[in-house]
Amino acid sequence: MRIGIDLGGTKIEAIALDEQGQELWRERIATPQGDYQGILLGIAGLVQRAEASLTLTGTLGVGIPGVLSPHSGRVKNANTQCLNGQALDRDLSRMLNREVRLANDANCFAVSEAVDGAGQGKQLVFGVILGTGCGAGIAAGERPLVGANGLAGEWGHNPLPWMTPEEYPGPACFCGRHGCIETFVSGTGFSRQYRQLTSHSLPGHEIIARMRQGEPAASQVFERYCDQLSRALAHVVNLLDPDIIVLGGGMSNIDELYPALNQRLAGDVLGRECVTKVVANRHGDSSGVRGAAWLWGR
């Protein structure tokens, strides 16, 4: 049995999978805010309840909103601030008396979709989460690609490629720079661009509804968004040349995105050829927690 934990800013979700990837058990609790010890106890409690309920012992993988530094062995870059500087895997290992595998939540998403999702059977999968922010992860041979600095897949904090004069220098990003891909292709970036054009603040799903009703401003913003996302993904193809690109997060639910991206991408890639397809995820919001469970392979 494999147990996966998705440690988010507002909730901690646990899942137990059998050897074939079938779900055996699932539970979600609220994330203790600013309380590292409370988070440890919450995760331990989920694991203990899963094993008691199923009368089985499982391996444990945990997806986090940050990375484990290869240099210090401690969490860094987590937006759940109390995790930063903590040896989360070692602390959980001592508490639960087993090895614990830790990975960035976007890498867990990529692994999930590589193992038994939309990227099943593909050697190199680039997984993108387009939500409030923008994250990405890489699965190679169904395993997370981490990198020497734990930063593989941090695509959203590179500058948007080939900016137009209207786009340059780009909005300020929380990372301290301007013009990051995240500030354009996240759901937040999509809504910002509509607000700039119309002076109206609307969530992404309402903008898409207006586009489908034929509103010119919404259609213009969506067209611009597809162009920006295609340019950003072209850099991924030029650098990694993945077999498939899988989208997750709220923006991935827009059906019109896929024909638009797959028609554009070749024109932005070096040589003007591209067989890499951009597809929707298979497991939706469950991909992160499933990927954490699959950190132990199969």
For 115-148, the pLDDT digits (tens) are 999 999 999 999 999 998 899 999 999 999 999 8
Domains and CATH numbers, the chain: 2-109+286-296 (3.30.420.40), 121-281 (3.30.420.40)
Which runs of E-coded beta strand occur in 75-184? 75-76, 100-104, 124-130, 134-140, 143-144
For 186-236, the pLDDT digits (tens) are 999 999 999 999 999 999 999 999 999 999 999 999 999 999 999 999 999
Q: How far apart are CA 247 and CA 127, in angstroms?
A: 6
Give the predicted TM-score (pTM) of the model: 0.93
Cβ contact 178:126 at 8 Å = no
For 232-278, the pLDDT digits (tens) are 999 999 999 999 999 999 999 999 999 999 999 999 999 999 999 99
The total of other beta-carbon atoms located within 10 Å of residue 198's CB is: 16
Pick from 246, 254, 248: nearest CA to 226: 254
